[in-house]
């Protein structure tokens, strides 16, 4: 039985929308007023000319982080040879897994056309330009990964159900999502960068995500709330938002928005707060309050 979130309490209220915590499954769901998956909002998620989200310099850093993701996947189970990366970005992680880590099958899904074209045409990868639930795979995979995807979809539970069918026995599932329990979310509430209500439809806590995976027969192997790629940036941007009373100015500038005078103040605050946020997140490494949830689960064979 898939949970319909009928019994809930309001966890947060933001400009007419409610974030409702389900009393049964623990997921935090954005209320129907603004909820609803709209594929068209992802058509400009990646830039038309490059397929990237940021300028060339930042994309180099992103590419390096994608190599780190590939290494993490390889270390999950070094004899794995096939992977499905759901919401595969521009495809760099899959590309590195094939090129350097002995993966024979590296398949992705990507609904945004610019990134889809980049991974198909430039990286020559097998990518599907459709939602996971609409694809009929006639095979299973040793590894399935979702990096910051599950919070974007309308039916995370249906995703987990389908993933359990697509994963080989003893295969590994890696999911990373923003952590609704994050210290900065509790501190700055609506200014939290991880909120992104334009795109995010469901929020997770370590307990709720674990419970969802256990329901579909997974065994939890590892759970962490620190990410070198996300944690410090998310905390810092959230605190800058809170202090300046504005929303994600620095992040939007990195994404190509016009340079305005506000950016000076934001950059200064960013530089000052970054080391502090790095330290806080490092201390929280083994606690539940870091910025992300990275969970590794095994499918019982
Ligand atoms: Zn529920």
- Structure confidence at residue 253 (pLDDT): 65
Residue 70 and residue 17 share a domain: no
Ligand 1 centre to CA of 47 (Å) is 35
- Structure confidence at residue 32 (pLDDT): 66
Mean per-residue pLDDT over the chain, rounded? 89
Ligand 1 centre to CA of 205 (Å) is 13
Phi/psi of residue 221, each to 5°?
Answer: -95, -40
- Structure confidence at residue 234 (pLDDT): 95
Q: How far apart are CA 220 and CA 167, in angstroms?
A: 15
- Domain assignment of residue 164, yes or no: no
- What CATH code is carried by the domain that includes residue 84? 3.40.50.150
Residue 101 and residue 198 share a domain: no
- Domain assignment of residue 300, yes or no: no
Report the pLDDT averaged over residues 272-297. Answer: 94
What does DSSP say about strands 202-203 and 28-30: parallel, antiparallel, or unpaired?
antiparallel
Ligand 1 centre to CA of 38 (Å) is 21
Residue 255 and residue 119 share a domain: no
- Structure confidence at residue 17 (pLDDT): 84
User: Of the residues 147, 168, 194, which one is the last residue of a structural domain?
Assistant: 147
Report residues near ion ligand 1: CB below 5 Å.
3, 5, 22, 24-25
Confidence of residue 108 (pLDDT cuts 50, 70, 90): very high
Q: How far apart are CA 213 and CA 208, in angstroms?
A: 9
Residue 203 and residue 104 share a domain: no
User: Of the residues 124, 147, 170, which one is the last residue of a structural domain?
Assistant: 147
Ligand 1 centre to CA of 231 (Å) is 27
> E strands, 179-291, where?
202-203, 218-224
Q: Is there a contact between 106 and 125 (Cβ–Cβ < 8 Å)? A: yes
What percentage of the chain carries pLDDT values higher than 70? 87
- Structure confidence at residue 286 (pLDDT): 78
- Domain assignment of residue 238, yes or no: yes
Ligand 1 centre to CA of 244 (Å) is 35
- Comparing 119-128, 178-187, 265-274, the range with the smallest average pLDDT is 265-274
Ligand 1 centre to CA of 7 (Å) is 8
Ligand 1 centre to CA of 210 (Å) is 13
Phi/psi of residue 194, each to 5°?
Answer: -70, -10
Confidence of residue 301 (pLDDT cuts 50, 70, 90): low
Question: What is the reported pTM?
Answer: 0.91
**How deeply is 261 buried, as exposed, middle or buried, from its count of CB atoms within 10 A (0-12, 13-18, 19+)?**
exposed
Ligand 1 centre to CA of 152 (Å) is 16
- What angle, 0 to 180 degrees and rounded to 10, lies between the N-to-C axes of helices 92-100 and 56-76? 50
Confidence of residue 116 (pLDDT cuts 50, 70, 90): very high
Q: Is there a contact between 47 and 53 (Cβ–Cβ < 8 Å)? A: yes
- Structure confidence at residue 247 (pLDDT): 75
- Structure confidence at residue 201 (pLDDT): 92
- Domain assignment of residue 62, yes or no: yes
Report the pLDDT averaged over residues 12-23. Answer: 90
Residue 79's domain comprises 48-147
Report the pLDDT averaged over residues 111-137. Answer: 93
Q: How far apart are CA 234 and CA 217, in angstroms?
A: 32
57-99 pLDDT, tens digit per residue, is 677 888 899 999 999 999 998 899 999 999 999 999 999 999 9
**How deeply is 32 buried, as exposed, middle or buried, from its count of CB atoms within 10 A (0-12, 13-18, 19+)?**
exposed
Ligand 1 centre to CA of 111 (Å) is 26
Report the pLDDT averaged over residues 247-269. Answer: 72
Domain count, the chain: 2
- Structure confidence at residue 122 (pLDDT): 92
Residue 139 and residue 153 share a domain: no
Residue 68 and residue 138 share a domain: yes
Ligand 1 centre to CA of 107 (Å) is 30
149-188 pLDDT, tens digit per residue, is 999 998 999 999 999 999 999 999 999 999 999 999 999 9
- Among candidate residues 5, 4, 1, the one with its CA nearest the CA of residue 21: 5
Ligand 1 centre to CA of 157 (Å) is 9
Ligand 1 centre to CA of 161 (Å) is 15
The pair of structure tokens assigned to 181 is: 């329990």
């Amino acid at each position: 039985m898939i949970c319909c979130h009928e019994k809930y309490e309001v966890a947060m209220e933001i400009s007419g929308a409610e974030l409702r915590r389900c009393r049964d499954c623990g997921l935090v769901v954005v209320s129907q007023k603004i909820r609803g998956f709209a594929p068209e909002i992802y058509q400009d998620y990646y830039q038309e000319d490059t397929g990237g989200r940021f300028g060339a310099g930042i994309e180099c850093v992103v590419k390096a982080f994608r190599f780190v993701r590939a290494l993490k996947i390889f270390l999950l189970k070094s004899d794995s040879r096939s992977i499905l990366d759901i919401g595969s970005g521009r495809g760099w992680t899959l590309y590195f897994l094939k090129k350097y880590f002995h993966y024979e099958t590296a398949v992705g899904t990507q609904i945004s056309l610019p990134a889809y074209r980049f991974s198909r045409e430039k990286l020559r990868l097998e990518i599907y330009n459709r939602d996971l639930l609409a694809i009929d795979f006639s095979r299973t995979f040793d590894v399935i990964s979702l990096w910051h995807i599950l919070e974007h979809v309308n039916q995370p539970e249906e995703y987990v159900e389908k993933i359990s069918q697509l994963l080989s026995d003893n295969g590994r599932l890696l999911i990373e999502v923003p952590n609704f329990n994050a210290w900065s979310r509790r501190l700055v509430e609506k200014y939290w960068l991880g909120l992104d209500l334009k795109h995010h439809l469901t929020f997770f806590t370590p307990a709720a995500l674990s419970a969802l995976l256990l329901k579909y027969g997974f065994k939890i192997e590892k759970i962490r709330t620190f990410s070198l790629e996300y944690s410090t940036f998310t905390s810092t941007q959230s605190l800058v938002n809170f202090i300046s009373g504005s929303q994600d100015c620095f992040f939007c500038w990195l994404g190509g928005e016009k340079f305005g005078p506000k950016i000076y103040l934001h950059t200064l605050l960013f530089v000052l707060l970054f080391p502090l946020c790095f330290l806080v997140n490092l201390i929280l490494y083994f606690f539940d309050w870091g910025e992300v949830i990275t969970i590794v689960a095994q499918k019982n064979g």
